Amino acid sequence: MVTPSFRDGYSRKLLLTNGIASLEGASGGGIANWAILAGMQERGFGGGLHATAVLLPDFDWQSFGAGVSYANRVELSYARQRFDTRDVGAALGLGQGFTFDQDVFGAKLRLFGDAVYGDPLLPQVSLSIQHKRNRDSAVVRAVGALHDSGTDIALSATKLLLAQSILVGGTVRLTKANQTGLLGFGSAANPDYSLQFEGSLAYQLSRRAVVGAEVRTKPDNLGLGEDDWMDLFAAIAPTDFLTLTAAYADLGSIATFEDQRGAFLQAQLAF
């Protein structure tokens, strides 16, 4: 077992146990929310900055943001999502290289438990809220979305089994989001919240390297064949403050364009 280090009187988390930033900015995996919080501090303030790119056959997805936590109890996060339609924009009548933009404001509260220490049968459990504001109101309403903003509510449980070097996690999310909100929220046919699931399984190869997989179910409010997501990822911490992540991401069908599979890449600085 790797023991934590201590700096400036604050207890620091084990490397990689702060996760990375999801596409929506909250701490966790690339596509799934985890119960963990941003930053490397168990006490006092911690946080991080991230830059993410998802390179798909017909689209490019970028996310930039930051998160801050206090006393490993509460997290505030922000992410700006940009979704470049490239040639698809012209085919859909939006214009070559049309970009959907969205702001995501998040808050997460650790309710009880610890992801690393304590009873191995008691996970860390956190409640998250993500308020999303699409910046392309006229376009998302034109494709059938009922709203250009919406709020997700998620309950997450995460546990690292130190003796086995295995991390397991699950999240239930109430959402109306179409493609995480980039295509708006709900539709006339499906105006209500739906309950979705996110799951994670990871194996820590060493104190600086981890591999794993994630799944995320998603609603198909617009009737465009929106698919569930999955990824296979590897993350390394070359320094105590930098995490680099690469993944194979399968995002299925997006706006009727199928087989959107490609690379998920992220760099995160944490303190």
Tell me how far apart the alpha carbons of residues 218 and 224 are, in angstroms, rounded to a whole number: 12
Predicted pLDDT of residue 9: 40
Looking at the chain, the whole-number percentage of residues with pLDDT higher than 90 is 90
Tokens 């999310």 correspond to what residue? Answer: 173
Residue 4 has pLDDT above 70, yes or no: no
Output the 3-class SS for 60-116: EEEEEEEEEEECCCEEEEEEEEEEECHHHHHHCCCCCCCEEEEEEEEEEEEEECCCC
The closest alpha carbon to 77, from 138, 147, 14, 28, belongs to 28
Provide mean pLDDT across the span 234-248.
Answer: 97
Residue 45 has pLDDT above 50, yes or no: yes
pTM: 0.92
- What are the residue boundaries of the structural domains of the chain, listed by start? 6-266
| DSSP conformational letter for 18 | T
Predicted pLDDT of residue 93: 83
Predicted pLDDT of residue 7: 38
Average pLDDT of the chain to the nearest whole number: 94
CATH-assigned architecture of domain 6-266: Beta Barrel (2.40)
Predicted pLDDT of residue 92: 80
pLDDT in tens, 182-216: 999 999 999 999 999 999 999 999 999 999 999 99
Predicted pLDDT of residue 172: 98
Predicted pLDDT of residue 196: 98
DSSP 174-223: EE-BSGGGTT-EEESS--S-EEEEEEEEEEEEETTEEEEEEEE----TTS
Provide mean pLDDT across the span 79-89.
Answer: 95
DSSP β-bridge partners for residue 94: none
